[in-house]
Structure 1
Amino acid sequence: MEIKKVGDLIIVNKSGIYGLGLSAEPYNGKVRYLRITDIDDAGNLLDQDKKSVTTLHENDYFLQQDDLVVARTGNSTGRTYVYDKSEGPMVYAGFLIKYVFDKNKINPRYLKYFTITSIYRNQTAKYSGSTRGNMSAQDFKNIKIVLPNRTTQDKMVVLFDFINKKMINNNKINAELESMAKTLYDYWFLQYEFPNEQGKPYKSSGGKLVWNEEFKREIPEKWEVNKIANCLIHINTGLNPRDHFVLNDGNIKYITVKNLTTTGELDFSACDTISNNTKELINKRSMISQGDILFASIAPLGRCFIIRETPNNLEINESVFSIRPNHKVSSEYLYQYFMSDYFVKKAEHSSTGSVFAGIRITTLNDMDIVTPPKVILDKFTKYLTNLYKLKHIKSKENQELSSVRDFLLPLLMNGQVTFI
């Protein structure tokens, strides 16, 4: 094992090159424009919101197999991605810096895994921040790396690539399950094609729709429109630190809006922690429990999470609502409503300011929601409960794989654990 600087391992004339400083355009299906927002904290490529770019000089910025790019600014500072040609042609944006490594000295994918360790992140912390921190090309060259011999590096890459691919596959399964749930919700409750008494699509089979003055649209006969407040047992929030407590003095996850996602998952990367005493203090206000919906109240809306097991290891801050439905709706139904484009647009229109920043509890309580008959609600809830059980299993598996990876990485790097 050695300690080396990044600058000792690169091909100098091909490294430290900043990307294109151009605005992204709609994806053209040919060449992807890689931005800092396309890379997650584990160094994986995100598939949402692909973009392209048009420039006469884009050929100078094409990535080659095993090129590494590092994010140099903002909260993403220090994130890395190692290019794989299987991802298709790619050019990189100006907030990324490219490095090419001497493969006789280092496996670039080993460096990818090194950059998710605390050893690395402690070195880059001084460059990051929401106030546009900045890490220069030279700063990254000065990063110190724990470097095992090349054989050990290669074995580590095989192991952690296997774990990473399993986690990516689980994420794809969960994305598909979430898409199926959304499609079913849209079909049943926005298009009104839920199964009628004969099991046929209601609206297209001649089901009666009646005008609802409160909702300002037609809804199925015998359905109701309620205020959201009338469908809840309670809606609470957590606490912000202020004078109440300090962060990162325990092992309880402290969930803020940045940890809630549009995929219905909790993103624990860069998640602060609190102590058990702090959790007890916050819980007197939040009262979070299994079955509650965690709701991000700050824009963008459409970021929620259903608590699937007793929340012994998490609590929330003031910007996260804890919502518990009553008998009129189920958690699954209300969750899908809050995640729908229909709700998000309606909530944004409720804002009185010129820029929508978020939603208050009073505004949310006063919004209307269509509530179906119990037989329809129960059937929908049963479908989604089974679907979300599988999603929860995959999410838990990823948490366990992530814990194993994070436990083994430093031990293998410094030689405390070795391969046979």
Structure 2
Amino acid sequence: MSFEWINTTLGDFLNLKRGYDLPKTKRKDGDVPIISSSGYSGVHDKSMAKGPGVVTGRYGTIGEVFYIPEDFWPLNTTLYVEDFKGNSPLFSYYLLQTIDFHAYSDKAAVPGINRNHVHMASVRVPNSIIAQEKIASILKKLEDKITSNKKINHTLEQMAQALFKSWFVDFEPVKAKIAILEAGGSQEDATLAAMTAISGKDAGSLAVFEHVYPEKYAELRSIAELFPSAMQVIESVKIPESWNLVPLSSIALFASGKIDVSELTKDTYISTENMLVNKMGIECATSLPSASTTPSFKPEHILISNIRPYFKKIWLARFLGGRSADVLAFEHKKNITAEYLYNVLYQDSFFDFMMQTSKGVKMPRGDKKAIMEWSCIEPTVELVSLFSNKVKEFYSYIESHNKENTQLSRLRDTLLPKLLSGEITLPEAEEIAKEADYV
């Protein structure tokens, strides 16, 4: 492919425009995404910009760049590409990621940038839209794989939570047994009902399952037999008989310990900034603390951001590292597994409790004493162990995908400036991206 690199200004390559006001009181239900300086911010019934579009923060949150495939409404806190001037929208999205928007900030308490100033930024770009689209397609391939891994991880998390909820929140196997016994059925019938609740198979399917997979059928039966067939009331709460309602302090403790910052990398340091909202795990830190030591964490510790609990930041640690003081590390006690404790703390009800008992208004922080008083279910040791064994594989896959995404993100971030500067050729980049399929 023959093309040339040209040195120009951002304003000569594309035209940015300020977004539009849209008060929340005037928003109407629709399918048009509203984009703020921090990204997706709801929907509206009308659009102000045609897709595909590229948006970046103008005021408040700056530096993030968003690619919007459909028509959208850019808010007043953003700048969006009004005119690509015949250039590739997807390439423009990656190009804007190389701009240091903070260099064009007014340095005010709430940072803001001026469109005309950003237009003066120097850029180096291919003079061929075919080359632009080829470069963009290589980078997008990596991003698509990262996105796919994240979706798989989200599904695996949901599968683990669904099992946890069925067994330890809704008590479905227990309630299935009770329903049969109250209807005059036998204990054998109750066990079969619990097997149905656990497996999702009806009586006919279970009969076939027993014939084809006798060992797995026997295992399913043994699991069903571990669930009680009656409920009890403890402190006005109905839970399965022989299980306990306990404060969190009975099954977990706050981990202690320190680690030298010199032993850490950006990959092994966890702060509230690099924990992701809505239970999406972690990303690489942008910096390390200036102190010589920092609190540590170990594999199987559950890390939760103690600042603004409503962001629901949680991660099951898979390696040794360091954390900021605002990241709590929970350690499971004897007879309770890391996987069980993680799913206990993963519940929305726990984060709601953290908020209800938090201290502070503008920057609420969880109250450590109150947190340990939160009531939770303690089943039998056998059931906790069974649950852990069933979901442990899920978390192994999640960690594998996370490691792959770290590698892919580094590769993308390495390729981006090199491709846009012409330091490496398109054939070289294609070969590198191809090898990434096997990372």
Counterpart of 1:225 (choices 245, 249, 274) is 245
* 1:290 alignment partner, SS class: coil
Distance, in Å, in 2 between the alignment partners of 1:31 and 1:164 is 23
What do residues 291-337 of structure 1 show as CA deviations (whole Å, max 9, x unaligned)? 111111112243210112x33xx421010012111223222221122
Distance, in Å, in 1 between the alignment partners of 2:53 and 2:358 is 45
- Per the normalisation by structure 1, the TM-score is 0.79
Distance, in Å, in 1 between the alignment partners of 2:285 and 2:116 is 25
1:140-179 pair list within 5 angstroms: 140-150=118-128, 151-179=130-158
Greater mean alpha carbon deviation, residues 1-10 or residues 155-164: 1-10
Structure 2, unmatched stretches of 5+, are 178-190, 199-223, 428-439
What do residues 148-185 of structure 1 show as CA deviations (whole Å, max 9, x unaligned)? 34244222111111111111111111122222222222
Greater mean alpha carbon deviation, residues 291-300 or residues 328-337: 328-337
Greater relative CO, 1 or 2 (CA 8 Å, sep 6+): 1
Shift of 1:142: 2.4
Distance, in Å, in 1 between the alignment partners of 2:83 and 2:324 is 42
Contact 2:228 2:242 in 1 (8 A): no
Shift of 1:236: 3.5
What do residues 237-283 of structure 1 show as CA deviations (whole Å, max 9, x unaligned)? 879xxxx989xx965553211322345444436632358x94xx22x
Greater helix content: 2
Shift of 1:392: 1.6
1:368-383 pair list within 5 angstroms: 368-383=375-390
2:20 match: 19
1:212 match: 234
Shift of 1:37: 3.2
Greater mean alpha carbon deviation, residues 184-193 or residues 146-155: 146-155
Shift of 1:133: 0.5
* 2:97 alignment partner, SS class: coil
Counterpart of 2:92 (choices 101, 104, 111) is 111
- Per the normalisation by structure 2, the TM-score is 0.75
* 1:115 alignment partner, SS class: helix
2:68 match: 83
Counterpart of 1:341 (choices 345, 348, 351) is 348
1:98 is matched by which residue type in structure 2? Y
CA 1:251/1:305 → structure 2, altered by over 3 Å: closer, same or farther? closer
1:4-403 pair list within 5 angstroms: 4-10=8-14, 15-23=16-24, 28-38=29-39, 51-53=42-44, 58-59=46-47, 61=48, 63-74=49-60, 76-85=61-70, 89-104=71-86, 106-117=87-98, 120-121=99-100, 123-125=101-103, 127=105, 131-150=109-128, 151-194=130-173, 198=192, 199-201=195-197, 207-213=229-235, 216-232=236-252, 234-236=254-256, 251=266, 253-268=268-283, 271-273=286-288, 278=292, 281-282=293-294, 286-301=295-310, 302-308=312-318, 310-311=319-320, 314-351=321-358, 357-403=364-410
* 2:29 alignment partner, SS class: coil
What do residues 65-116 of structure 1 show as CA deviations (whole Å, max 9, x unaligned)? 3332221122x3022223313xxx4222221122234444x32322212333
Distance, in Å, in 2 between the alignment partners of 1:402 and 1:347 is 33
Contact 2:248 2:372 in 1 (8 A): yes
* 1:16 alignment partner, SS class: strand
CA 1:167/1:53 → structure 2, altered by over 3 Å: closer, same or farther? same
2:42 is matched by which residue type in structure 1? K
1:43 match: none
Distance, in Å, in 2 between the alignment partners of 1:413 and 1:32 is 29
Distance, in Å, in 2 between the alignment partners of 1:128 and 1:190 is 51
Distance, in Å, in 1 between the alignment partners of 2:362 and 2:237 is 27
Shift of 1:192: 1.1
1:78 is matched by which residue type in structure 2? G
Contact 2:296 2:322 in 1 (8 A): no
CA 1:328/1:263 → structure 2, altered by over 3 Å: closer, same or farther? farther
CA 1:383/1:108 → structure 2, altered by over 3 Å: closer, same or farther? same
Shift of 1:353: 6.3
* 2:386 alignment partner, SS class: helix
Distance, in Å, in 2 between the alignment partners of 1:160 and 1:353 is 43
Distance, in Å, in 1 between the alignment partners of 2:246 and 2:108 is 40
Contact 2:160 2:391 in 1 (8 A): yes
* 1:114 alignment partner, SS class: helix
Task: Determine which structure has more spread, i.e. the larger CA radius of gyration.
Answer: 2
2:303 is matched by which residue type in structure 1? L
What's the Cα RMSD here?
3.3
1:271 is matched by which residue type in structure 2? T
Distance, in Å, in 1 between the alignment partners of 2:407 and 2:113 is 32
Greater mean alpha carbon deviation, residues 172-181 or residues 257-266: 257-266
1:400-415 pair list within 5 angstroms: 400-415=407-422
Distance, in Å, in 2 between the alignment partners of 1:139 and 1:251 is 32
Distance, in Å, in 2 between the alignment partners of 1:207 and 1:81 is 53
Number of paired residues?
376
CA 1:340/1:262 → structure 2, altered by over 3 Å: closer, same or farther? farther
Distance, in Å, in 2 between the alignment partners of 1:410 and 1:356 is 37
